[in-house]
Amino acid sequence: MENKHIENVVIGKPLCSEYLFFAYDEEDWEKIEKDKTVWTEEKYLPRILVEYKFMKSINEIKRNRPDLCVILNKLDFLKIKIGKKFLYIVVGE
């Protein structure tokens, strides 16, 4: 994976278009937000945070942010603050 700035994560297949969650309109989605979005099937939040370099290790998450040690297995939209950054997560089917 190239070193790009990630702000949005889509897990599985959302019930509606991703741009409705992350952008003001379709143009904003195409020009700005789509490049900051990744799609994955991984549902274990610590693994996602390590894979996209929000945290260094799963052990660090368990030690410092045990509230983030969850499996995302139901439809949801999350806003998580990590340091000074925010991560937006859509959990689909």
* Structural domain includes residue 1: no
* Structural domain includes residue 2: no
- DSSP letter for 24, please: S
Per-chain mean pLDDT for the chain: 90
pLDDT tens for 59-82 read 999 999 999 999 999 999 999 998
> If you compute the radius of gyration of the chain from its CA atoms, what whole number of angstroms results?
13
pTM value is: 0.86
The two three-digit tokens of residue 19, written as one number: 């741009």
| Amino acid in position 91 | V
Contact 78, 84 (CB under 8 A): no
* Structural domain includes residue 3: no
What is the pLDDT, as a whole number, of residue 39?
A: 94
Q: Quick one: the chain helix, strand, coil %, rounded to 5?
A: 35, 25, 40
For residue 85, pLDDT beyond 90: no
Mean pLDDT across 38-48: 95
Q: How many domains does the chain have?
A: 1
* Structural domain includes residue 19: yes
Helices (H), ranges, the chain: 19-22, 26-31, 45-51, 58-64
Domain containing 17 equals 8-91
